[in-house]
Amino acid sequence: MASLYLAEEIRGREEGDLQRIKLVFEYEGTRYHGLQVQENAHTVQREMESAIHNLTGEWVKMLFAGRTDTGVHAVGQVGVFDSGSTIPADRWAYALNSYLPEDVRVRSSEAAGADFHPRYQALSKTYRYLVYRSGAGQVFYRDRALCCRDTLDIEQMRKAAALFQGVHDFRAFCASGTSVKTFAREVYRCELHEESPLLWLDIEANGFLYNMVRIIMGTLLEVGRGKLPAERISQILDSLDRSQAGPTAPPQGLYLLKVNYPGG
């Protein structure tokens, strides 16, 4: 069906007559060395751009709402690219899914303004960190959640999570190697939920630092294990010292859930 679609719909436009296409897509990140293209590495971006090339013959450069690291997943990643194809904007999702592997799927496609940038125009992003707390079934969750059977004080973890809300300097919750100049971020929501055997953290903010969510989750688990009092979170934030926070939780539990833009 895709080949028929290609024959009927793809016609090259005049040079410079390009349409910006916005995609919302999901991927299971286990097989990939992150989202963005890297030298000699299998990435989601490479799969996406190869699928576009196979569909239209064009090599494009995609822009994304945010990068995800090796093993991290996405439910609502956003990407854009410019194309000279005449495929209607709302048909790109159907067309591309015929060329993508089963662990990468485009959920929706639409036309975007020529100046739309998925990162710089985002109002907020929401991440989820998933913990699986049962012995049985770990074989199915080992690549999609942190498998943890430790006894955890969930109420203390909830109290600690609430202290991340608001505007803070998150330097203590940022991995080294970042190039950012400012560490202040506003967290709109940081909530812990439980539905056995799953425990998950949902966190929405106007931006995130490198490994910020994973360090927050690692610190909350230390609170749950009784190694840190919940009230210590405020002191750690004020310290601006990464060594005061907990370990970085592993990547497989992290999901980019949604990116929010003006107008919904």
Sorted by where each starts, the structural domains of the chain and their CATH numbers stand as: 2-112 (3.30.70.580), 124-260 (3.30.70.660)
pLDDT of residue 17: 85
User: Across the strands, what pairs with 64?
Assistant: 79
- Both tokens assigned to 44: 């989601």
Judge if pTM exceeds 0.95: no
Percent of the chain clearing pLDDT 70 (strictly above): 94
Reported as a single tens digit per residue, the pLDDT across 76-106 is: 999 999 999 999 999 999 999 999 999 999 9
Q: At what angle do helices 232-239 and 212-224 cross, to 10 degrees?
A: 150
Residue ranges of the chain with pLDDT lower than 70? 1-16
Residues marked active site are found at: 69
pLDDT for 261 equals: 97
Summary mean pLDDT of the chain: 93
Report the phi/psi class of residue 101: left, alpha or beta, with left for phi > 0 and alpha for psi in -120 to 50. Answer: beta
pLDDT at position 4: 37
Query: For residue 150, which amino acid is it?
Result: D
Task: Kindly state the tokens that stand for 43.
Answer: 């990435």
Choose among 46, 48, 114: nearest CA to 78: 48
Q: Quick one: pLDDT at residue 16? A: 57
